[in-house]
Amino acid sequence: MQTRNRRRSIPNIWPGFVDAISALLIITIFLLMVFTIGQNFLSDMLLGRDKALSQLNQKLAEISKLFAIEKNNNDMLNKQIAGLISDLEKSKNARDELGSSLSTALNQNKELRETLLQSQKEVADASIDLANAFKDIEADQAKIKTQIKKLEILGGDVASLKQTQRVLKKEALSQSTLIDDLKNKSRSLRVRLSKQVELTSSAKKKAKETQVLLERITKENSVIEKYLRKEKELSDQSKTQINLLNRQISALKQRLEIISKLLQSSEANSIKQKIQITNLGKKLNAALASKVQELSRYRSEFFGKLRDIIGTRQDIRISGDRFIFQSEVLFASASSEIRDSGRLKIVKLAQTLLKISEQIPSNIDWVLQVDGHTDRLPINTEKFPSNWELSTARAISVVKLLIANGLPAKRLVAAGYGEFHPIDKTTTMDSRKRNRRIELKLTSR
């Protein structure tokens, strides 16, 4: 009684220590949750920024493509404008050549007109001379006729008449030669006049054709000038669009630089937070390890008290963190009903665990795991079609008995493993006996 009173008089610091550890664990978990939520939030922000950056990159690529297309169009327009300018220069040169040809043709036409007028004057003079010659011939013929009449009337000297006749014949021959020359000259003048008329008409036709060609060239030049004005307007519009695209690209580049800086800063913050989370994880792991060590201490105490209650028996033993009952201690062969002797052991186990559980802190979520195992000999009954059902039913029977003796159901777990987790893989009678077992393990959830 004195020793009990002394124990009661000693101050119990354990609840305060447990409360401090619980508060520390709660604070650690809360901080870990806060940093986890912050990390998720930052990850979402980074994902959003990555998406926005990818969208901006896509827009930049599209704008670059449009810029390249506009640049190609501008180059094509510049080439077309250069071609049109060269065509215009060629047309101007052709127009100048046609103008010079036209001026040459006009000069030739003027010269031909002057030649024609001169020829017409010569023809007129020749016609006058011819008319005068005809008049002279007619006058001479009249004289000859008068002389012949005089000769006939007078009957003059034959010799003189013959001589006079010869002279008159010579004069008549010379006059006829002159008439022939005048006729030939008139013909040549007429031929020259017809040639001059033909040349004049061809020159007029050529002048008309040149005029038509000049009018067509003038129209083409006006069309080309209109097209050049339009192309210049289009080129100005293209330059305006290119300048606008350049401004947009520069703005996008600035935005990308800002976003990259923000990403770098957020990555730095993320690295810092990851380091903090890693440190918190280490602290949490240390806290959990301490809790596991504490639970291991209670498990050792629990197993020690069970050893004191049950004593040293070969069919009940401790292996690592497990308390093992051989199935023969609790069950008959091919049965899941607990024997009376085994029931007493389970009742003592429940009482011991109830006493130990009062000392386990409430923040340790402990459970007693009950595992059923069988040997590899098959079973095929109506109640147990296989060793799965038999091992599970035996574990459930133990759990129900523990619940009936005051252990809370939420602290108990039943599982059946059949013959698939043997501790001895040989096929002897002793190995099969060791494999038929119920294992109890005090662990955390």
For 398-410, how does the pLDDT look when each residue is reduced to its tens digit (9 = 90+)? 999 999 999 899 9
Q: Between vectors from CA 67 to CA 64 and to CA 72, what angle results, nearest 5°?
A: 125
Q: Which amino acid is at 204?
A: K
**Is the predicted pLDDT of residue 392 greater than 80, yes or no?**
yes
- The pLDDT, as a whole number, for residue 119 is 66
Q: Which fold has domain 50-251?
A: Helix Hairpins (1.10.287)
Distance CA 125, CA 123 (A): 5
Query: Region 195-220: what's the mean pLDDT?
Result: 68
Per-residue confidence band for 89, with pLDDT thresholds at 50, 70 and 90: confident
For residues 443 and 323, the answer to whether their CB atoms sit within 8 Å is no
pLDDT digits (tens, 9 = 90+) for 34-76: 888 988 888 888 887 777 777 878 877 787 787 778 778 777 8
Mean pLDDT of the chain: 73
pLDDT at 404: 93
* Mean pLDDT computed over 86-104: 75
Q: What's the one-letter identity of residue 216?
A: R
Stronger pLDDT, 89 or 166, i.e. the higher one:
89
Give the model's pLDDT for residue 413: 92
Q: What is the pLDDT of residue 151?
A: 52
Average pLDDT of the segment spanning 109-135: 68
Residue 146 confidence (pLDDT) above 80: no
Per CATH, 50-251 and 312-444 having the same topology is answered no
Q: Which residues are 326's β-sheet partners? A: 437
Q: How many helices (H) and strands (E) does the chain have?
A: 7, 5
pTM value is: 0.36
- 269 has a pLDDT exceeding 70: no
Lowest mean pLDDT among 142-151, 193-202, 295-304: 295-304
Query: Residue 90: what pLDDT?
Result: 78
Say which range, 123-132, 151-160, 170-179, has the weakest mean pLDDT.
151-160
Cβ neighbourhood burial of 114 (10 Å; 0-12, 13-18, 19+):
exposed
Task: Enumerate the domain spans of the chain.
Answer: 50-251, 312-444
Residue 178: burial class (beta carbons within 10 Å; 0-12, 13-18, 19+):
middle
Can you spell out the DSSP letters for 215-245? HHHHHHHHHHHHHHHHHHHHHHHHHHHHHHH
Query: How would residue 1 be classed by pLDDT, with cut points 50, 70 and 90?
Result: very low
Does pLDDT of 257 surpass 60? yes
pLDDT above 70: percentage of residues in the chain: 55
User: CATH assignment of 312-444, given 3.30.1330.60, 3.30.70.141, 3.30.70.2190, 3.40.50.300?
Assistant: 3.30.1330.60
Q: Which two tokens stand for residue 245?
A: 């695209």
**pLDDT of 165:** 55
DSSP one-letter code for 322 = E
Phi-psi region of 395 (alpha: psi -120 to 50; beta: other; left: phi over 0): alpha
Q: Which of 165-169, 172-176, 305-309, 365-369 has the lowest mean pLDDT?
A: 305-309
